[in-house]
Amino acid sequence: MPELHVSDLVVRFPGLERPALDIPTLQLPAGAHVALTGPSGSGKTTLINILTGLDRAPAGRVIWGDTDIGRLGEGARDRWRAGHVGLVMQEFHLFPGLSALENVLLPQRLATFRLAPGRRAEADRLLARVGIERPGQKVETLSRGQMQRVAVARALVARPPILVADEPTASLDADAGAAVAELLAALAREVGATLIVATHDARLIAGMAQVLRLEAGRLVPAGANPAAPAPTHAAVDPAA
Amino acid sequence: MFRLIAADLVRHRWGALAIALLIALATALGVVVTLEERALRLGSARAAAAFDLVIGAPGSETQLVLSAVFLQPAPLTLLPGSVLAALATDPRVAYAAPVGFGDFSDDRPVIGTTQPLVDGLGGVTEGHSFRRLGDAIMGAAVPRALGDSFHPMHGLAEARGGVHSAITYRIVGRLAPTGTAWDRAILVPIEAVWRTHAPGTHGAEDHGSEGHGSEDHEDANHAAEGHAQAEAEPHDAPDPSEPGPAAGTPARTIAEAHRQREQSDAAGFDAPINPEALTAPDAPGVPAIVVKPRTIADAYRLRQAYRTDHTLAVFPGEVLTRLYGTLGDARQILAFVTLNAQLLVAAAVLLVVLIHVMGRRRQIGALRAFGAPRAVVCAVVWLEAVLVIGAGLAGGFALGFGVARLLARQISMQTGVVLPVGFAAEDGGAFLLLFAIGGLAALLPAVLAYRQSPAAALRA
């Protein structure tokens, strides 16, 4: 499992005086469960995009294990992400016309053409684990809560060492949100993945061992989460 | 990947279908123009294959070919009988057969001719050929039975022609299919046609005494009314060097001809065919003569010999080539219009595809975010576009073929000329070229998808 080292990360957007993101240093140990909080526009999604390689860090270093993803090209970042990161987003981005099972396996099929042995069984297992009883059901016929659970299964089917969720419960009702929050934490623990969740959801935050708070693009110390199930070792530069 | 493409196409089936249909219609337009023009060339060339050289009186070469080969009724001046007599004994000629038209039966042309042309057209497949003057041979597409009888009519019914009620032909044979206008025709002995219009005599000495200048006009009028062209010419000693409607020839009117016919009451139609009548010094004139030269050199010599002030010899193939030239020009104009229509459709399709891809930015971004390589995402977009374009092109070729076949059948029913509609190797090349252009055009949305940042796409 890779640990995360971020240093001197600065992201500026044209027309803005202050950087959208300015993180002198951030370290997360492998297997950490971290909630990323902060008001809207504080830079949560920008940070998530850079940590997952969706965007390239214009300045600074973002090192997962021994890979500085800021130095990877677009294609290499795609390949790294496919092998290391499971993503869950506020919008589920499931593909209508395909079944729950096909959606779970779609990124794998597109990345490798031929499924790795056991991937199909793992998809079935994960779908059962997240409570989808009919893997062959077309996703457009599922409820929103079920859709997000399929998205969670999709994020985990390749057993990635890093699981990143961006507002995974924001578009769900309270019960469905609670169920997805529990699943995310439990499944990340099961596979030993580092879990980073950008969220406003208090219940989801309560399930995380560590809370990182972003304000105006800067990390402010939030301390260990008293309600956390297990301690983690996030280190934030107090000067940030 | 293919499952995703299939699901995507099914989800957007109506849009995809509309685009494919648009492409199909634009393609079909071009295909119809190409196929129909080619079919017209081939069909008319085949129809003229049995007619090496056609000789008529001076006038329009095109009209002579249209009348003699394609049996289009037209006012043609008659050739004197002596021309046919001279050709019949010419050593350069394998056979020379008259084509006497103007009579009809149920809108089907009744053509007076001789045995050599029957053989030249492929011979008789059912029954037998001419034995008596009253024998008729029907073309392959004439819906009548052997043994049926009919009265010929002057001209078409809608042209108010009169019926030769006293003349009765009996169908004794059926011509082999030729794929030409002759399939719709009924062939009768030329002597019978002469007798129909000049009963009891081969000359016009029984009729009028108008000057030959007005006879020209009279002949033309007869033909204009669809009247028999094999009107008797008054020359006692025809000479090929002199025109048919030469000096001192009287003319008949339709009314006179009818009256005389009634009086003679179809005299002698049971008589056997007399080939000598064709070369008789007082043989009546004919509007056209089909000549089969013995050699190619003979063909050119004969054409030269009969291109005089009084006769006109043409190679139908040559006349058709000139017509094709005109047809080709028309095709180029049509092709230009078609190309512009196709370019408009291509631009519209490209616009729709681009809008579609922009609308799918988030989906494409999500695919990339979840780990799909961008080359694969690019391939998905390209393949989808190519499938729709390919379906449109294939549908367009099929639709164009179908429409061209329908048109050809319609033309065949009207003219008897079979138009062979079919694809040639060059059409395969055109299809591949269009497909390649479509494939290149589809690269544009695919490249857009390729260059799109997944994070930016997800933010969209």
pLDDT at B212: 35
Residue B335 and residue B305 share a domain = no
CA distance A146 to A92: 10
Average per-residue pLDDT in chain B? 78
CA distance B192 to B169: 9
Of A49, A78, A97, nearest to B371 by CB-CB distance is A78
Confidence of residue B246 (pLDDT cuts 50, 70, 90): very low
Check A111 against B375: CB less than 8 A apart. no
Tokens of A223: 């301390």
Check B371 against A110: CB less than 8 A apart. yes
Does the structure show a pLDDT above 80 at B207? no
Q: What is the mean pLDDT of residues B280-299?
A: 86
pLDDT winner (highest mean) among A208-212, B226-230, B317-321, B337-341: A208-212
Which positions in chain B touch A85 (Cβ < 8 Å)? Answer: 371
pLDDT at B282: 75
Which chain A residue's Cα is nearest to B3?
A: A98
pLDDT at B236: 39
Residue B38 and residue B97 share a domain = no
Which chain B residue's Cα is nearest to A49?
A: B455
Residue B223 and residue B77 share a domain = yes
Check A96 against B7: CB less than 8 A apart. yes
Check A107 against B376: CB less than 8 A apart. no
pLDDT at A104: 92
Confidence of residue B258 (pLDDT cuts 50, 70, 90): low
Does the structure show a pLDDT above 80 at B38? yes
CA distance B328 to A59: 67
pLDDT at B441: 86
pLDDT at B243: 41
Last residue of a domain, one of B266, B281, B314: B314
Cβ neighbours, 10 Å, residue B282: 20
CATH number of the domain residue A198 falls in:
3.40.50.300
Residue B207 and residue B150 share a domain = yes
Domain residues for the domain of A93 are 4-236
Best B8, B13, B370, B451 member to test A by mutation, with max A CBs in 10 Å, is: B370
Residues 322-381 of B with CB under 8 A from A: 362-363, 366-377, 380
pLDDT in tens, A163-202: 999 888 888 888 888 888 888 888 888 888 899 999 888 8
Does the structure show a pLDDT above 70 at B256? no
Residue B353 and residue B306 share a domain = no
Count of structural domains, chain B = 2
Cβ–Cβ < 8 Å for B382, B4: no
Residue B393 and residue B292 share a domain = no
Confidence of residue B330 (pLDDT cuts 50, 70, 90): confident
Best A40, A54, A55, A101 member to test B by mutation, with max B CBs in 10 Å, is: A54
Q: What is the mean pLDDT of residues B55-77?
A: 86
pLDDT in tens, B349-404: 888 888 877 777 888 888 888 888 888 888 888 998 899 999 999 999 999 999 99
Q: What is the mean pLDDT of residues B334-338?
A: 84
Confidence of residue B36 (pLDDT cuts 50, 70, 90): confident
Last residue of a domain, one of B314, B344, B365: B314
Does the structure show a pLDDT above 60 at B67? yes
Q: What is the mean pLDDT of residues B302-330?
A: 86
Residue B353 and residue B276 share a domain = no
Cβ–Cβ < 8 Å for A176, A100: no
Does the structure show a pLDDT above 90 at A219? no
Of A52, A85, A102, nearest to B3 by CB-CB distance is A102
pLDDT at B222: 42
Cβ burial, residue B49 (10 Å; 0-12/13-18/19+): middle
Does the structure show a pLDDT above 90 at B230? no
Which chain A residue's Cα is nearest to B378?
A: A110
Last residue of a domain, one of B314, B349, B380: B314
Domain residues for the domain of B395 are 2-45+322-459
Cβ neighbours, 10 Å, residue B447: 14
Its sign, for the CA torsion B232, B233, B237, B238, is negative
Does the structure show a pLDDT above 60 at B259? no
Which positions in chain A touch B380 (Cβ < 8 Å)? Answer: 110
Residue B250 and residue B191 share a domain = yes
Residue B340 and residue B304 share a domain = no
Residue B64 and residue B37 share a domain = no
Which positions in chain A touch B368 (Cβ < 8 Å)? Answer: 54, 78
Check A74 against B374: CB less than 8 A apart. yes
pLDDT at B218: 37
Average per-residue pLDDT in chain A? 85
CA distance B386 to B443: 9
- As for the ipTM of the complex, it is 0.82
pLDDT at A17: 83
pLDDT at A76: 87
Confidence of residue A51 (pLDDT cuts 50, 70, 90): very high
Higher pLDDT, B331 or A68: A68
Residue B352 and residue B228 share a domain = no
Does the structure show a pLDDT above 60 at A77? yes
Count of structural domains, chain A = 1
Check A110 against B366: CB less than 8 A apart. no
Higher pLDDT, B212 or B153: B153
Residue B301 and residue B390 share a domain = no
Identity of the residue numbered A189: R
Which chain B residue's Cα is nearest to A139?
A: B7
Q: How far is A86 from chain B (nearest CA, A)?
A: 7
Under 8 Å CB-to-CB from B198, ≥6 apart: which residues?
A: B204, B206, B207, B231, B232, B252, B257, B260, B284
Does the structure show a pLDDT above 70 at A44? yes
pLDDT in tens, B416-442: 777 888 888 888 988 899 899 889 888
Q: What are phi and psi of B164, to 5 degrees?
A: -80, 75
Under 8 Å CB-to-CB from B385, ≥6 apart: which residues?
A: B353, B438, B441, B442, B445, B446
Cα separations in angstroms, B232 against A31, B39, B59, B194, B198: 114, 39, 20, 7, 6
